Chains A and B, each alone.
Chain A
Amino acid sequence: MKLSQFQPGQSGIIKEFTDLEMSIKLMEMGCLPGESIVVERIAPLGDPIAITVSGYQLSLRKREASTIIMQ
């Protein structure tokens, strides 16, 4: 399942990425395979989303979230 399909409040653990370039940016921001993610909220207009990862909040677009495969 992709992270972009998660609903607010749902949580999970990162399994892998589908895009190398994006994965580097995401990993720099603390989104690593094995790390747990909570989807906190979705922006009022439906995109982007806000997640909590390694203790802080990160916002990313759904397109970017769709490159994250969850366990």
Chain B
Amino acid sequence: MGQELKVALVGNPNSGKSTLFNVLTGLSQKIGNFPGVTVEKKEGFSKLPDGRTARIIDLPGTYSFYPKSRDERIVMDALADKNSPVHPDLIVFVADASNLKRNLLLFSQVADLRIPIVIALNMMDLSMQAGIEIAVDDLALKLGVQIVPISARKLEGIEGLKLAISQSSSIPTQFPSIDVPALAPDLIHAIRRDLNIKYPYVALQLAHQHEQLSFLSDEENIRIEEIKNEFSFHSQKSQATETIGRYSFINDVLFDTVKLNSDPGKETMSNRIDNILTHRLFGFVIFFLILFLIFQSIFAWSEYPMSLIENLFIWVTNLSHQVLPQGVFSDLLIDGVLAGLSGVLIFIPQIAILFAFISILEDTGYMSRVTFMMDKIMRKVGLSGKSVVPMIGGFACAVPSIMSTRNIENWKDRMITIMVTPLIACSARLPVYTLLISMVVPDQKVWGFINMQGIALMALYLLSIVSAIIVAWAMKLIIRSRERGYFIMELPVYRMPRWNNVLLTMYRSVKAFVFEAGKIIIAVSIILWVLSSYGPSGKFNDIDQKYRSEAYVEKYPKHEIDRLVSSEKLENSYAGILGKSIEPVIRPLGFDWKIGIALITSFAAREVFVGTMATIYSVEADNSNLASVRDKMMAARNSETGLPVFTVAVAFSLMVFYAFAMQCISTVAIVYRETKSWKWPAIQFAYMTSLAYIASLIVYQLLK
């Protein structure tokens, strides 16, 4: 596509890059992966004033080209490799105007790659408030590039930026900043000559990080290694010299283009907020209150939309029964697919609320304060303050959280974080917990406002945090490492959350949940329906025969016979046989063979438990009974004793089992991909399953 302009957004973390990306692309964005790696790639399209379309690629935020984490390596990979599908025609460098000096370090590195570049000078509103005066035109003249002042949050200057993108030159215009070849003259010369590299800074970067770049061939890597040895290249010393040189250039440039008119004695708003939020005592109290608020609202706010979805499904099921002809196909559709889906889609409101809170905490800058406050505790148990964000993300889903551990530079810290993150109560457990809690915990208020069910849920979440900490501490003693960890992290100023962004996050997470989880759930539901509707040949006929006999027809009313027939058929179906075969193992935990079926199917994903329960009890129930999953499970009786199946002991034993057990294929897969070995997922699976079994056993035997 000749008319399409490929534009990459490059900039520091917290420079407003994602906000600008959202503003430029709107809902046209696609989330994928960068080629060959699992770093999230955000891409979208933007219409330019001249009618062309720009393909906008959001590269991970980084402070410099010397990557501290795997995400940051993507930037070099995309920019240094001309043949990369994400190699841009133009770079839009997003700079935070209130923090120009540090932002220009990365700019001066990017500029030396000789790709055409435009600066979007973001957060102009903030920097004006802070009393920073920037002579934009003079600065542009000194750097040799177009600079467009914008405020992405307030949508100011966006048209100007689009115009600058469409009018950008196809050849680089930026002035050189430092004398790059002087950093290592012979080495740069040799690499340029032998690998046919056009620009000196690209050659130098290859010397620094060729091992981590994906586009070099083995021979090229060997040749670079030889050249490095030949000229005894010292990477760290060269980096230090380069960084100092660049800053001295930046200081020169900024000397007469940026003026600071603020009163140094005046305390900033952000500082005053920090005085409270990171206060010795209030800091932790507030953090706890925020968590409390989140869990209370997950229950309170979702009640109404959840009952709407529930009623919708009851209505659809009812309608299907009337409209569809009786037969195998409609049974499969209604008892298999529809029942399975309804059990899961009902949790959309709760997932949306959870993701909304997480995105607000990140957006406001509060999440990094949590990291700041918790670092010392986390380090005591073998984690780092940076483990807090993946672990809080773990409340949503372990899969993206485990991917986000790439920001943890230290190998051991990262491994332990990966190992314990799946213990954190993820949103897939939420359906299981809320269903079981609503069955056995009374919906009562204590002191008029604290919901008992909310307390029970919070207790389960606290259990997950405590267990993660204990396991982390144990692993700290087991895993050996000599690598040093460090914790140098920006504390961004507090900002109001961008409500658009919150909505977008909710939309994305719900969409992912519905499509990703939905696929598995429909598949599992169909398989399950088949397994529970058919049995070894002859068995079902015998049952039909048995109940058609005189003795039964006289003794029981018609609907009672129907119930007995379907119940006995389920017991003799393939699923029933499967469940019964593991019953001896799970009996001490209080589980019967029906729960056993759910345990097996939910090895794919925890939320499948609810769908399975729905399917099992729908297959069993006669068609006139169209109550919710919860009512069906409440009504379930042990066929021998006649007592309810789901007692307090069974429900809590089940919840504890789901709290610890590694029942998520996606997590196993992502841990394998992130650690590049089967060893870690295998250890994880083994320790979590044993923990689950032992904990459930204790809970059931105590509460029985």
Contact = CB atoms under 8 A, between A and B. Distances in A.
Interface of A: 20-30, 32-33, 40-41, 43-48, 50, 54-61, 64
Nearest to A49: B372
Interface string B361-388: 0000000100111011100000001000
B193 interface: no
Nearest to B371: A59
Nearest to B270: A57
A29 B488 contact: yes
Interface in B491-507: 491-493
A46 B278 CA distance: 12
Contacts of A44: 278-281, 283-284, 373
A50 B281 CA distance: 17
Contacts of A29: 63, 102, 488, 490
A28 B493 CA distance: 19
Interface string B595-634: 0000000000000000000000000000000000000000
B469 to A, nearest CB: 15
Given A50-B491, A56-B490, A43 B372 contact: yes
A59 B372 contact: yes
B64 A28 contact: yes
A32 B242 CA distance: 12
A54 B486 CA distance: 21
A48 B485 CA distance: 13
Contact of A57 (B130, B279, B487, B490): B490
Contacts, number: 110
5 contacts: A20-B237, A55-B101, A55-B260, A56-B491, A59-B490
Main secondary structure of the interface of A (DSSP, over half): mixed
A46 B376 contact: yes
Contacts of A57: 270, 490-493
Given A43-B376, A46-B376, A50-B372, A25 B488 contact: yes
A41 B274 contact: yes
Contacts of B243: 24, 27-28, 32
Given A23-B240, A54-B101, A56-B102, A48 B372 contact: yes
Nearest to A55: B99
Contact of B101 (A26, A30, A48, A58): A30
B66 interface: yes
A70 B105 CA distance: 23
B105 A28 contact: yes
A43 to B, nearest CB: 5
A55 B259 CA distance: 12
A32 B244 contact: yes
A-B pairs with lowest CB-CB distance, top 3: A45-B376, A57-B491, A30-B102
B247 interface: yes
A24 B372 contact: no
A24 B240 contact: yes
B33 interface: no
Given A24-B240, A43-B278, A61-B486, A54 B102 contact: yes
B239 interface: yes
